[in-house]
Amino acid sequence: MFLKKTIHFFIKKLKTLKNKTKIYYLNQQKGINVSTTTEFGRNVYFTTSSQFWKHFKNGAIITGNFCKFSRNSNLLAYGGTITFGDYSGVGEGVNIYGHGNVTVGKNCLIAMGSCILSSNHSIPNIHSTINSQPDILLPTLIEDDVWIGANSVILGGITIGKGAVIAAGSVVHKDIPPYAIAAGNPVRIIKYRSND
């Protein structure tokens, strides 16, 4: 169950900022690690062994209200911003890298083992090493009411339109229009959700 073994946090020294809860201190129990630049909405639920880190100056993680994050989920801003709308949920073992900014809308489901990127590396000539290349920042947008199936990979610079469904194991390398159902590696549109 998604909320099984939900940990109740005792949050101290709260400051209200634009209807969000700014975390200045969080009791870090059972493997939950939270950066001081993380902002949580009301009634956000976590399970064990998750990380919410800014990783570099000026990074931020902001959640809406009633979001849910399962165990071993990692939100790593790396200097960018990761934002979640209200009522969105993240399954076990999801990794989100916010270098170039990741925005997840309201009522989204991101199933276990998925990975969302917002940057890439250039591929240099043979006289330079790949790891010496800077990140290319590629903002990623997941609009409202999107379902991302288990073990999917969302590459940087992608927009997934409102109400879209991404099948399990897909590699999303291009924009997905609203209400599309897409699957595969590389991803392709299978059909659209019904209007009935």
* Of residues 6 and 192, more confidently modeled: 192
pTM > 0.85: yes or no: no
The stretch 160-184 carries a mean pLDDT of: 98
Mind spelling out the 3-state secondary structure of the chain?
CCCCCCECCCEECCEEECCEEECCEECCCCCCEECCCEEECCCCEECCCCEEECCCCCCEEEECCCCEECCCCEEECCCCEEEECCCCEECCCCEEECCCCEEECCCCEECCCCEECCEEECCCCCCCCHHHCCEEECCEEECCCCEECCCCEECCCCEECCCCEECCCCEECCCECCCEEEECCCCEEEEECCCC
**pLDDT tens-place string over residues 16-68:** 333 344 333 343 444 555 666 677 777 676 665 666 665 556 788 888 898 88
Q: Which of 7-16, 45-54, 95-104 has the lowest mean pLDDT?
A: 7-16
Radius of gyration of the chain (CA): 17
Q: Which residues are catalytic?
A: 121
Instruction: Name the CATH superfamily, with its identifier, for domain 13-121+134-147.
Output: Hexapeptide repeat proteins (2.160.10.10)
**pLDDT tens-place string over residues 144-155:** 999 999 999 999
pLDDT the model gives residue 110:
98
